[in-house]
Amino acid sequence: MSRHLAWLRPIRIFLTLAVLWLVIAGPELSSWIIGVPALLFATWSTMTLTGDRHAADRTPYRSRLRLGGLLRFLPFFAIESVRGGLDVASRVMRPRLRIDPGFQSYQMHLSNPIARVVFLDSISLLPGTLSADLVNDQIEVHALDASHDLSPSLQRLERVVAQLFVEAEPGKLTAS
């Protein structure tokens, strides 16, 4: 973005967050009492954390979302959230707990820093999982049932997250 259009960036961020707030909170006007200050703070935080540097000075990573990726991620997010909740609830509600807790390692291939954070945070969507540690590209995932291989689910999640963002090296994620 050129310097003379830089003033549009906070407005674009605010409006994007406002649409997200509208989707989450609904059209109730009273929600904007909390929503507007939260959106202003989130816009300020985004501008502060990402910096307001000239485009040539920015990192090569692009945090822009892809619309097609977003349309794939949202239903994935909803379905996996419900599946994860039902799985944990069914484990807890049974007379004999079906758990074998432990850790599994997973090699992450995402290069975009924002995509990496979304991936790490989204691991908890998968039934009985939680990202516990990250060293370089190696993730330690805690699982309620470590006897079950998490790799296929993690690979699928990583592909969905890669499609959500403009990923620098998407070729690494095509193999299943």
Cα gap 64→69, rounded to integer Å: 11
3-state secondary structure of 58: coil
What pLDDT is attached to residue 156? 92
What pLDDT is attached to residue 10? 87
124-173-160-150 Cα dihedral, nearest 10 degrees: -30
Cα gap 131→54, rounded to integer Å: 34
Taking residue 159's Cβ as centre, other Cβ atoms within 10 Å add up to 20
What pLDDT is attached to residue 97? 76
Q: Say how many CA atoms lie within 13 Å of 157 toward its Cβ.
A: 28
| Cβ-contact 142, 101 below 8 angstroms | yes
- Cut 0.85: pTM above it: no
pLDDT tens track, the chain, 176 positions: 556 677 788 888 899 989 988 888 888 888 889 889 999 988 888 787 666 544 444 455 455 778 888 888 889 988 988 988 898 888 888 878 778 889 999 999 998 888 888 899 899 888 888 898 888 899 999 998 888 899 999 999 999 999 888 664 444 554 44
What pLDDT is attached to residue 157? 93
Tokens describing residue 90: 């069914």
What Å distances lie between residue 97 and 31, 60, 90, CA to CA?
Answer: 40, 47, 9
Looking at this protein, which amino acid is placed at residue 44? W
| Helices of type H across 26-66 | 32-50
CA 169 to chain CA centroid, nearest Å: 18
Q: What are phi and psi of 107, to 5 degrees?
A: -90, 115
What pLDDT is attached to residue 104? 94
